[in-house]
């Protein structure tokens, strides 16, 4: 239909808004549609064009007559949309009002796009009618006879005011409406433009670095010149690994960071390591840290470990030569952290603890000798947080872990209070709140954990106001909202939980459109969506459940990245997804299908019980797989096999189960009930009640999960 119109839109405005109309006409007609969108289907089934199209603007004042001019009427019939520039002057203009009425007669209500320039929408119904910006024909619907009624209309508006969408976003919103595409697609183009600017800066920096490096190796005649050139190259690399990285990382793209690290490593690989000064060796190690981080985020665990081990060996050798040098201690502490991190991901827990304790020891040494140094204060906080995480997840000692997390929180709070505008400090403090919330989730009243999650979310919102494009803060906000939704489920607020899950799912979809190669984002999105799907099963919303699961199996589990699958990822993503599909079949009475999945799942878990229980969601997956497997056997009339299956899930030390998160304890309580261990069941149920966990009928019955 769009190709029969001569004009894409007709702009209606008051004479006093002529300058705004001129600017808008120029902006819209000059807007180039992103090439990747051209040709794609729009909301009305047509193809997205390369340009928005021609806009009609009546340049002359309308005559003092009752009817519109023939030219204007003709233009209205030939325009696909109408754009109304809204202001108090436009609201008072009878000609703007007449044009709107005429267009509504031709096309109805939905093709009118409003632009708020000044004034207030619907102010005529309040105490300041003079501030009304919508003409009457926008505020009310037309009746069958073509006259205005008293039935309110709902104008589609882009708010160009600073307090609203602003000029840039408002224009994109308007263009999106004219093209029939999502606003996110156009905002993405703006972000890509910014990214290209960053990449130009990076490319220039890399080229400059290469130039500096080559100068260093030229046959210079004077040693002084050679040292000067080398110093300039080293300074540029330091900039790339610090300031430039800090500017690029929040954007959320990995390719540019990867180029920075590769160029730095390439520069050093062309030198003899034995001839390098200590500071240069430290920068080389940091370049390997950066490359290892990127490998990890892209799912290449093996590649990450190789790079972290290279860095660890280098910084250990430097520290051995100069054991009291703070810079050498710091460099090696970072290597100790990263090598511990990758061991953790691979399930090598003894090596993890050793590396994390080394990191903590180095950080404590730095603070003891330089107590006023906030940088070392931060390292001490990080080290305590890491050990707390280890004790929480691997050793299942939440109360001991909380001591380390509280020390970490004190350090991060001290730094944030001294640097109130420092986004990194706020991110660290928010992370500390999150870990404490995870710990409190196990042994403190659940409302204490809720309060910490809410403080964390408030901090992320505060960061967003400072820097709307900080993707680290934006994605961590989604993680904390997912955790809060989980807590809402635990205390029985199912509706609040579902609403939060919907918000998170929508946001993750938008971020993955930015960078589909980011495996970390993909995994975090999948974790959130799996929890959402689990909540949907509670209300038997099978259709929505199927949509979510189909998307998960079509994206996350078909990822082209062929890196090593960590045990943590297997548990959080693969095993949980399989369990949820089996749970759905069980709820539908399809017991054979449910059994087929749970039997396979139980066998996969059976060989790695201890390692699986040590992962974050391991206790839940462990208990749920065995519980459901036994329940399907029971439904199939194989009662003795069901009891044998539940007995496999019994822990040697029930005190361990007390330190599991509430949802896992609830499952173990059901298992103990089914095999007659009522004392263990009672112990777990009492702990749940003490925390304020909402125990459902499914957790006090032998018939449901």
Residue 243 to residues 246, 249, 291, 301, Cα–Cα distance (Å): 5, 10, 17, 27
Residue 295: how many CA atoms within 13 Å on its side-chain side? 24
φ, ψ dihedrals at 702, nearest 5°? -90, 0
Domain boundaries, the chain: 2-181, 564-699
φ, ψ dihedrals at 188, nearest 5°? -60, -35
How far is it, in rounded angstroms, from Cα 192 to Cα 257?
A: 16
Q: Running DSSP on this structure, what letter comes out for residue 574?
A: I
For the ranges 136-150, 177-191, 448-462, the maximum mean pLDDT occurs at 448-462
- Specify whether the CB–CB gap between 176 and 185 falls below 8 A: yes
Residue 399: how many CA atoms within 13 Å on its side-chain side? 5
Q: Which of 51-65, 304-318, 332-346, 449-463 has the lowest mean pLDDT?
A: 51-65
pLDDT digits (tens, 9 = 90+) for 152-170: 888 888 889 887 888 888 8
Please state whether the predicted TM-score (pTM) of the whole model is above 0.75.
Answer: no
Q: Running DSSP on this structure, what letter comes out for residue 141?
A: E
The CATH class, in words, for 2-181 is alpha beta
Give domain 564-699's CATH superfamily: Tetratricopeptide repeat domain (1.25.40.10)
How far is it, in rounded angstroms, from Cα 404 to Cα 676?
A: 38
The confidence band for 184, taking pLDDT boundaries of 50, 70 and 90, is low
Percent of the chain with pLDDT over 90: 44
Q: Work out the angle at residue 681's Cα, subtended by the Cα atoms of residues 445 and 607, and round it to the nearest 5 degrees.
A: 100
For residue 693, what are the contacts with CB-CB under 8 A and spacing of at least 6? 446, 490, 491, 662, 666
The set of long-range contacts for 674-680, using a CB threshold of 8 Å and a minimum separation of 24, is 674/630, 674/642, 674/643, 674/646, 674/702, 675/643, 675/646, 675/647, 675/650, 677/650, 680/654
Helix axis angle for 662-674 and 639-648, nearest 10°, is 140
Phi-psi group of 39: left, alpha or beta (phi > 0 → left; psi -120 to 50 → alpha; rest → beta): left
pLDDT digits (tens, 9 = 90+) for 593-604: 999 999 999 999
* CA torsion angle 665 668 670 674 (round to 10): -160
pLDDT digits (tens, 9 = 90+) for 492-534: 999 999 999 999 999 999 888 888 778 888 889 999 999 999 9
Rg for the chain, CA atoms, rounded: 31
The set of long-range contacts for 201-208, using a CB threshold of 8 Å and a minimum separation of 24, is 201/244, 202/244, 202/248, 202/256, 202/259, 202/260, 205/236, 205/239, 205/240, 205/244, 206/240, 206/259, 206/260, 206/263, 208/236
- Specify whether the CB–CB gap between 110 and 81 falls below 8 A: no
How far is it, in rounded angstroms, from Cα 424 to Cα 466?
A: 12
Listed in order, strand segments (DSSP E) in 584-674 are none
Alpha helices in 218-276 (DSSP H): 223-239, 245-248, 255-269
pLDDT digits (tens, 9 = 90+) for 332-381: 998 999 999 888 888 788 899 899 999 999 999 999 988 888 889 999 99
């Amino acid at each position: 239909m769009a190709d029969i119109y001569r004009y894409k839109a007709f702009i209606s405005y008051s004479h006093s808004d002529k300058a705004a109309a001129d600017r808008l006409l120029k902006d819209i007609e000059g807007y180039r549609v992103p090439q990747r969108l051209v040709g794609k289907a729009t909301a009305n089934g047509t193809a997205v064009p390369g340009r928005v199209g021609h806009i009609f603007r009546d340049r002359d004042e309308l005559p003092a007559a009752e009817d519109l001019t023939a030219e204007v009427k003709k233009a209205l019939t030939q325009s696909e949309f109408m754009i109304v520039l809204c202001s108090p002057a436009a609201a008072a203009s009878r000609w703007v009002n007449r044009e709107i009425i005429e267009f509504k007669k031709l096309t109805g209500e939905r093709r009118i796009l409003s632009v708020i320039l000044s004034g207030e929408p619907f102010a005529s119904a309040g105490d300041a009618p003079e501030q009304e910006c919508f003409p009457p024909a926008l505020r009310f619907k037309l009746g069958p006879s073509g006259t205005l009624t008293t039935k309110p209309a709902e104008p589609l508006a882009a708010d160009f005011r600073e307090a609203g969408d602003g000029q840039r976003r408002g224009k994109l919103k308007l263009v999106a409406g004219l093209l029939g595409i999502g606003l996110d697609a156009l905002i993405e183009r703006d972000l890509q433009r910014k990214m290209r600017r960053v990449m130009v800066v990076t490319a220039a920096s890399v080229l400059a670095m290469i130039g500096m490096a080559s100068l260093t190796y030229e046959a210079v005649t004077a040693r002084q010149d050679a040292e000067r050139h080398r110093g300039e190259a080293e300074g540029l690399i330091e900039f790339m690994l610090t300031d430039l990285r800090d500017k690029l990382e929040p954007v959320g793209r990995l390719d540019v960071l990867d180029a920075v690290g590769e160029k730095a490593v390439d520069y050093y690989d062309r030198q003899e390591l034995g001839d390098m000064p200590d500071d240069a060796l430290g920068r080389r190690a940091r370049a390997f840290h950066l490359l290892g981080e990127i490998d990890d985020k892209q799912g290449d665990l093996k590649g990450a470990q190789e790079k972290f081990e290279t860095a660890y060996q280098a910084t250990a050798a430097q520290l051995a030569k100069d054991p009291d040098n703070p810079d050498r201690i710091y460099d090696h502490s970072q290597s100790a952290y990263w090598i511990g991190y990758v061991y953790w991901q691979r399930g090598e827990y003894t090596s993890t603890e050793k590396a994390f304790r080394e990191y903590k020891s180095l950080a404590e040494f730095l603070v003891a000798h330089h107590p006023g140094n906030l940088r070392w204060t931060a390292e001490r906080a990080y080290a305590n947080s890491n050990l707390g995480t280890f004790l929480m997840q691997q050793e299942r000692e939440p109360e001991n872990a909380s001591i380390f997390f509280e020390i970490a929180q004190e350090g991060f709070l001290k730094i944030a209070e001294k640097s109130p505008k420092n986004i990194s400090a706020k991110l660290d403090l928010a992370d500390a709140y999150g870990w404490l919330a995870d710990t409190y989730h196990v042994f403190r009243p659940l409302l204490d954990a809720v309060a910490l999650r809410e403080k964390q979310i408030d901090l992320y919102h505060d960061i967003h106001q400072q820097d709307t494009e900080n993707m680290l803060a934006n994605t961590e906000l989604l993680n904390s909202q997912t955790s809060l939704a989980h807590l809402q489920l635990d205390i029985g607020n199912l509706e609040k939980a579902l609403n939060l899950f919907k918000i998170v799912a929508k946001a993750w979809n938008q971020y993955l459109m930015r960078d589909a190669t980011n495996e970390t984002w993909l995994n975090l999105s999948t974790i959130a969506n799996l929890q959402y799907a689990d909540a949907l099963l509670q209300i038997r919303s099978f259709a929505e459940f199927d949509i979510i699961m189909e998307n998960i199996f079509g994206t996350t589990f078909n990822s082209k990245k062929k890196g090593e699958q960590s045990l943590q990822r297997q548990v959080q993503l693969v095993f949980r997804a399989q369990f949820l599909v089996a749970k759905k079949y069980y709820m539908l009475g399809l017991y054979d299908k449910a059994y087929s999945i749970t039997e396979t799942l139980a066998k996969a878990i059976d060989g790695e019980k201890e390692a699986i229980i040590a992962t974050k969601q391991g206790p839940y997956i462990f208990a749920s797989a065995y519980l459901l497997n036994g329940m399907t056997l029971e439904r199939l009339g194989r009662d003795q096999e069901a009891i044998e299956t539940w007995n496999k899930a019994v822990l040697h030390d029930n005190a361990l189960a007390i330190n599991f998160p509430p949802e896992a304890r609830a499952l173990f309580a059901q298992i103990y009930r089914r095999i007659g261990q009522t004392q263990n069941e009672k112990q777990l149920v009492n702990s749940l009640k003490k925390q304020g966990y909402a125990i459902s009928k499914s957790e006090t019955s032998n018939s449901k999960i």
